[in-house]
Structure 1
Amino acid sequence: MSGDPMATTRERADLLESLARHRGFLRQTVQGLTDEQAATRTTVSELCLGGLIKHVAGTEASWMRFAVGGAEAMASEPVDWEGQFRMAEGETLVGLLDAYEAVARGTDKLVADLPDLDASHPLPEAPWFEPGARWSVRRVLLHVIAETAQHAGHADILRESLDGAKTMG
């Protein structure tokens, strides 16, 4: 990365713009749905649209904890590996979207305020991570963007299966 503060500002703006675009696709996919529709599984998978919103919000929040404090911070809040893809009793789509918006605001502020996107931490030990690998904040953001885009595509398939709406095409 160059020492040019304008380049740093442009990079952050580009990363956040890309993330915002994919968040928008995901939000657009659930527009106009009832809680019952958002909780409906439309394929053989456990996925439902509300569950995808919950999963993406939780994943983004988890990775932002990693960006600041590493694997220990990432693991500081438990993950319901099975329930994160479903809407639980009492959850509403509006509530899940509000929680996602709060996570998004936190991420955007964090990215704007962090002194260095090159700061890195060792990845948690997991079979899907290369042993000893480190990720920078920049790499974490790219991962969150990719995850959000991937799940926006999943959501589009689920929505089309639910009521025929094609929100991304």
Structure 2
Amino acid sequence: MTERADLLASLQRHRGFLLFTVRGLSDEQARLTPTASALCLGGLLRHVATTERSWCAFAAGGAEGMSQVEVDWATGFAMPAGATLADMIADFEAAGADTDALVEKLDLDAAHELPKAPWFEPGASWSVRRVFLHLIAEISQHAGHADIIRETIDGQKTMG
């Protein structure tokens, strides 16, 4: 397997865990926040889609590109009123397809200086490769959150 194929396989695998977690749920169940956190399954799909879009914009165009993606920091983990789980899944899948297309075409060694933020070392740069590795970690982490939420809702276990 090539490096690009490995990256794609890992991204798709972890997205698959997240999609499996929401399988068979109603819209109402996707909105539930049954744990101590404010996370819901529909909101996790929304957040991951936004995260993929934001980091892919960075991979393609640096901090300037990333700044073009609107991120709702206040309610980004919520499922919007009127949205359905099918809407959240379609958006999540579209973001993933866009990411996969970039994995196929971007120079993995290209690097961009990270945006100015208190959580990034000033002047630090990330390669496109590191961005995709970061997305794998993000998706995996949120798939774990989703598994706990789903198990709390109805006992289904995705990862164990």
Q: TM-score, normalised by structure 2?
A: 0.97
Distance 2:77 2:159 in 1: 21
Distance 1:49 1:107 in 2: 21
CA RMSD in angstroms comes to 0.9
Aligned to 2:3: 11
For residue 92 of structure 2, what is the amino acid of its counterpart? Y
Mark the structure with the bigger radius of gyration. Answer: 1
Say if 2:53 is the partner of 1:61: yes
How far 1:77 moved relative to its partner? 2.2
Distance 2:45 2:64 in 1: 24
Aligned to 1:3: none
Aligned to 2:70: 78
Aligned to 2:119: 128
Say if 2:29 is the partner of 1:47: no
Equivalent of residue 108 in structure 2, options 117, 124, 148: 117
Distance 1:75 1:164 in 2: 40
Ranges of 4+ aligned residues in structure 1 off by more than 2 Å: none
Q: TM-score, normalised by structure 1?
A: 0.92
Aligned to 1:36: 28
For residue 7 of structure 2, what is the amino acid of its counterpart? L
Structure 2 residues without counterparts, runs of 5 or longer: none
Q: Percent identity?
A: 63
| Equivalent pair of 2:21/2:147 in contact (CA under 8 Å) | yes
How far 1:103 moved relative to its partner? 0.8
For residue 139 of structure 1, what is the amino acid of its counterpart? R
For residue 116 of structure 2, what is the amino acid of its counterpart? E
| Structure 1 residues 25-67: Cα deviation after superposition (integer angstroms, max 9, x where no partner) | 0000000000000001011211000000000010011000000
Aligned to 1:4: none
